[in-house]
Amino acid sequence: MNPHNSFRQVVLAASGVLCLAASSLHAQWVNYPTPGVPRTAGGKIDLSAPTPRTADGKPDLSGVWESDSGYFTDLARDLKSGEVQMLPWAKALQAERESRDHADDPMARCMPPGVPRISMSATSMPHPFKVVQLPKLVVLLYETSANQTFRQVFMDGRPLPVDPQPTWLGYSIGHWDGDTLVVETTGFNGREWVDTAKGHPQTDAARVTERFSRPDYGHLQIVITIDDPKAYEKPWTAKVPIHLLPDTDLIETYCESEKDQPHMHSRP
């Protein structure tokens, strides 16, 4: 079975028609030209224009974004064999999830996708996100098939909490490394999946580092490092390309799973 199709069956059953409509039409629902955006003579967004910057000279990451296809289903898709070394129990769990067509995916029960999966996209279910950048705080707003949600990245110099309250999206702090925004997140509840079709595990010991860079106006790149000693022999890193969604915005989404739970299934 095609993993994209099987995921769509699971999540669409869990998400409901309105969520599908919101996700599939997000790029057209506003259609209002964003002021101040560089454009060609024909009126199209100049995606190769220089990176915008804030008053303090830092790259301005603000905007509505969406990852390129495929990383939502397999974050390690571009990595060579052996770069992701799972511990035996994690490898067995990953194989079980894949064999069951990820029927136990928390997203199918309207739970958040987790970090870093929440910033990725599925081929059949786009998941755009919006960056709101302030000097001491970066807010990430997400439109997902498992309801809208948000993350706060604290930029005021605070450390990660020693004993955080476990959550789906963890606790995030950030700092600038030159022109790269570095976000470190811990405090996960251990129920998250790193990705969907592969179902790479993530435990409460995970530390996720995301490095956001904006090489030009229309593109981001997120370099993601998963450091989870309970599940992996060593940290592993993936690079995810992100593209701008101009002249639009996020739209309301919600997820209702109770009515469709009986229709969820996996391969025998």
- In this structure, of 36-45, 56-65, 210-219, the range with the lowest mean pLDDT score is 36-45
Tell me how far apart the alpha carbons of residues 189 and 195 are, in angstroms, rounded to a whole number: 16
Cβ(156)–Cβ(174) below 8 Å = no
Average pLDDT over residues 246-253: 86
Instruction: Note the pLDDT of residue 1.
Output: 41
Strand (E) or helix (H) holding 6: helix 3-15
Query: How confident is the model over 67-111, as pLDDT tens digits?
Result: 987 899 999 999 999 999 999 999 999 999 999 888 889 988 889
| CB count in 10 Å sphere of residue 79 | 14
Instruction: Note the pLDDT of residue 258.
Output: 54
Q: Place 147 in a pLDDT band, splitting at 50, 70 and 90.
A: confident
Of 209, 254, 268, 213, the residue nearest 16 (C-alpha): 254
Tell me how far apart the alpha carbons of residues 156 and 234 are, in angstroms, rounded to a whole number: 30
Domain limits, the chain: 3-32+49-260
Per-range mean pLDDT, top range of 122-136, 139-153, 201-215 = 201-215
Tell me how far apart the alpha carbons of residues 181 and 65 are, in angstroms, rounded to a whole number: 16
Q: Which two tokens stand for residue 226?
A: 């998963």
Cβ(212)–Cβ(183) below 8 Å = yes
pTM of the model as a whole: 0.86
Of 103, 139, 140, 124, the residue nearest 24 (C-alpha): 124
Cβ(239)–Cβ(68) below 8 Å = no
Tell me how far apart the alpha carbons of residues 31 and 200 are, in angstroms, rounded to a whole number: 37
Tell me how far apart the alpha carbons of residues 206 and 186 are, in angstroms, rounded to a whole number: 6
pLDDT of 267 > 60? The answer is: no
pLDDT of 232 > 80? The answer is: yes
Instruction: Note the pLDDT of residue 184.
Output: 98
Q: Place 42 in a pLDDT band, splitting at 50, 70 and 90.
A: confident
Tell me how far apart the alpha carbons of residues 168 and 105 are, in angstroms, rounded to a whole number: 13
Q: Which of the listed CATH numbers 2.40.128.20, 3.40.630.30, 3.90.1150.220, 2.40.110.10 matches domain 3-32+49-260?
A: 2.40.128.20
pLDDT of 153 > 60? The answer is: yes
Tell me how far apart the alpha carbons of residues 217 and 49 are, in angstroms, rounded to a whole number: 5
Q: Which two tokens stand for residue 240?
A: 């995810």
Instruction: Note the pLDDT of residue 9.
Output: 43
Strand (E) or helix (H) holding 17: helix 17-24
